[in-house]
């Protein structure tokens, strides 16, 4: 295997409270981190973005946007919301927050929604349908839109993986009554979700900004994520003193905390180490620093960088025995969130990659407890076998090459 001296010293600090107790820190950034290059270059992009819509609200995260969409549509107790069986818990928690009932529908092996199965699960209480554009690959929603129109069902496009893109003439997010997106999955920001609508005025959605401490935390965490992966080194040098002081204060505050075990009242996704739904943050707007970065950073660089990295990974791993890209072709107009790779021996390969510090994710690794186990065998299979590897715009050539070598070694040799 080649050596990658520039990665040798990368032992990223954890800038949030969600350290993984089982595996070493990730050696390359899982999500886009701020770099000087991201601030330059054209902000306009030839590919549409979800926030091109007429009605846009910038919120704390995508899952909060799901809750707000349901609230805006008047969905609540005793209503049923159709959701894909291939899901993560933070997609379902906002439904529980509205006291509505999630009803899980099947997806097909290419991740498209199974319309026949959706039809079979409709009841007089079905009020909304959430459909997900997995990993940035936009689904064809015409038939689903027609069904929703015929049955007066609210269609929510889940664009958490698809901030950019179009499917033929349809820009991302334009078919649903509402669409939600996760800015932090595409932009180098710490917080940020988006609620949009092409059909409804969202001015009445009640939102408030976080306080000064929250604004400072969002900015500092964005910078620290960048510094941890050796970006913006001059700024890091300049801020060394104040950041050292901040760390010392945080350590002191933690040491002063009582050590008595307190019951964990967080939602399930937060207890699983994620950044899931939080009822206390539903009405919080995206932080000022994240909002200005979403406006400022080069969108063309995001779209072009992700597409270029995806193509490179597809070429490198496409012919490897033991795995295959879930979507071998990258259609025109698609901006991938990640590179999803189907692995033949996931239980063997996953810990090998994690131990090597590869930032691999398995979407749907944890499923909503209330879902009947036999609901969708395809989803169960994908949640085990699809590994998401980063392909974001901030990865350097050597970081991608290192990751590809680790994947080849893990898949072939284990
Ligand atoms: C498909 C999907 N929808 C919604 C969400 C929630 O988005 P956020 O993490 O911004 O709250 C996620 C989170 O990963 C997701 O993967």
Tokens of 336: 């991938």
- Pick the atom of ligand 1 nearest to 192's CA: 10
H helices of 98-209, in order, are 115-120, 142-151
- pLDDT score for 247: 86
How far is the centre of ligand 1, averaged over its atoms, from the C-alpha of 184 (Å)?
A: 10
Burial of 304 (0-12, 13-18, 19+ CB in 10 A): middle
Q: Give the three-class secondary structure for 339.
A: strand
DSSP letter assigned to residue 103? E
Q: Give the three-class secondary structure for 126.
A: strand
Q: Which candidate, 176, 183, 129, places its Cα nearest to that of 161?
A: 183
Q: Ligand 1 atom 1: the closest Cα is on which residue?
A: 160
Pocket test for ligand 1, best of 61, 83, 88, 275 (most atoms within 8 A of CB): 88
| Backbone dihedral angles phi then psi of residue 385, each to the nearest 5 degrees | -100, -20
Radius of gyration of the chain measured on its C-alpha atoms: 21
How far is the centre of ligand 1, averaged over its atoms, from the C-alpha of 95 (Å)?
A: 13
- Pick the atom of ligand 1 nearest to 182's CA: 10
Spatial contact of 48 and 168, defined as CB atoms under 8 Å apart: no
Percent of the chain with pLDDT over 70: 90
How far is the centre of ligand 1, averaged over its atoms, from the C-alpha of 180 (Å)?
A: 9
- Pick the atom of ligand 1 nearest to 64's CA: 11
Q: Ligand 1 atom 2: the closest Cα is on which residue?
A: 160
Q: Which candidate, 118, 117, 163, places its Cα nearest to that of 138?
A: 163
Instruction: Kindly state the helix (H) or strand (E) to which residue 102 belongs, with its residue range.
Output: strand 101-105
- pLDDT score for 18: 47
- Pick the atom of ligand 1 nearest to 63's CA: 11
Over the stretch 240-282, which tens digit does the pLDDT of each residue have?
888 888 888 888 888 887 655 544 445 655 554 456 899 999 9
Count of C-beta atoms within a 10 Å radius of residue 312: 17
Who's near 29: CB < 8 A, 6+ residues apart?
A: 12, 225, 229, 359, 390, 392, 394, 395
Q: Which candidate, 96, 70, 83, places its Cα nearest to that of 177?
A: 70
Question: CB within 6 Å of ligand 1 — which residues?
Answer: 61-63, 88, 90-91, 132, 158, 160-161, 182, 193
> Of residues 305 and 273, which shows the higher confidence score?
305
Give residue 9's pLDDT band: very low, low, confident or very high (50, 70, 90).
very low
Residue 20 has pLDDT above 80, yes or no: no
Residues 145-168 as b/e (b if ≥16 CB within 10 A, e otherwise) read bebbeeeebbbbbbbbbbbbbbbe
Residue 82 has pLDDT above 90, yes or no: yes
Lowest-confidence segment of 133-137, 170-174, 255-259, 272-276 by average pLDDT? 272-276
Pairing between β-strand 154-159 and β-strand 178-182 as defined by DSSP bridges = parallel
- pLDDT score for 358: 98
Q: Ligand 1 atom 9: the closest Cα is on which residue?
A: 62
Give residue 413's pLDDT band: very low, low, confident or very high (50, 70, 90).
confident
Over the stretch 185-238, which tens digit does the pLDDT of each residue have?
999 999 999 999 999 999 999 999 999 999 999 999 999 999 999 999 999 999
Give the start-end residues of each E strand in 65-100: 80-84
What pTM, to 2 d.p., does this model score? 0.92
Tokens of 252: 């002191």
Spatial contact of 379 and 364, defined as CB atoms under 8 Å apart: yes
How far is the centre of ligand 1, averaged over its atoms, from the C-alpha of 14 (Å)?
A: 21
Q: Give the three-class secondary structure for 146.
A: helix
Sheet holding 323-325, edge to edge: 323-325, 338-343, 386-390
Residues 89-128 as b/e (b if ≥16 CB within 10 A, e otherwise) read bbbbbbbbbbebbbbbbbbeeebbbbeebbeebbeeebbb
């Amino acid at each position: 295997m080649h050596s990658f001296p520039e990665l040798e010293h990368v032992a990223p600090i954890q800038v949030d409270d969600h350290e993984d107790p089982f595996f070493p820190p990730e050696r390359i950034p899982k999500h886009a981190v701020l770099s000087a290059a991201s601030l330059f270059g054209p902000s306009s992009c030839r590919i549409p973005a979800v926030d091109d819509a007429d009605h846009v609200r910038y919120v704390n995260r995508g899952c909060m946007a799901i809750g707000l969409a349901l609230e805006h549509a008047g969905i609540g107790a005793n209503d049923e919301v159709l959701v894909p069986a291939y899901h993560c818990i933070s997609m379902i928690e906002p439904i529980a927050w509205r006291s509505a009932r999630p009803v899980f529908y099947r997806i097909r092996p290419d991740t498209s929604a199974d319309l026949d199965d959706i039809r079979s699960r409709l009841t007089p209480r079905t009020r909304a349908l959430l459909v997900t554009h997995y990993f940035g690959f936009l689904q064809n929603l015409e038939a689903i839109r027609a069904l929703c129109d015929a049955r007066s069902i609210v269609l929510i496009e889940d664009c958490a993986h698809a901030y950019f893109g179009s499917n033929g003439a349809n820009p991302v997010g334009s078919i649903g009554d509402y669409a939600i997106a996760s800015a932090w999955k595409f932009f180098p920001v710490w917080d940020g979700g988006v609620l949009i609508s092409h059909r409804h005025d969202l001015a009445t959605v009640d939102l408030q900004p976080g306080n000064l401490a929250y604004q400072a935390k969002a900015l500092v965490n964005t910078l620290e994520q960048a510094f941890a992966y050796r970006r913006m080194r001059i700024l890091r040098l300049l801020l060394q003193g104040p950041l050292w002081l901040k760390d010392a204060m945080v350590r002191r505050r933690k040491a002063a905390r009582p050590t008595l075990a307190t019951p964990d009242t967080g939602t399930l996704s937060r207890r699983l180490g994620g950044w899931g739904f939080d009822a206390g943050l539903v009405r919080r707007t995206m932080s000022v620093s994240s909002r200005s970065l979403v406006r400022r950073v080069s969108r063309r660089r995001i779209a072009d960088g992700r597409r270029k990295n995806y193509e490179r990974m597809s070429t490198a791993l496409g012919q490897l025995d033991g795995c295959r890209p879930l979507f071998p072709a990258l259609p025109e107009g698609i901006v991938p969130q990640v590179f999803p790779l189907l692995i033949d021996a996931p239980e063997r390969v996953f810990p090998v990659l994690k131990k090597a510090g590869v930032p691999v994710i398995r979407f749907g690794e944890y499923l909503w407890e209330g879902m009947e186990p036999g609901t969708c065998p395809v989803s169960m299979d994908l949640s085990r076998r699809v590994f998401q590897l980063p392909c974001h715009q901030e990865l350097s050539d050597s970081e991608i090459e290192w990751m590809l070598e680790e994947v080849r070694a893990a898949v072939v040799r284990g």
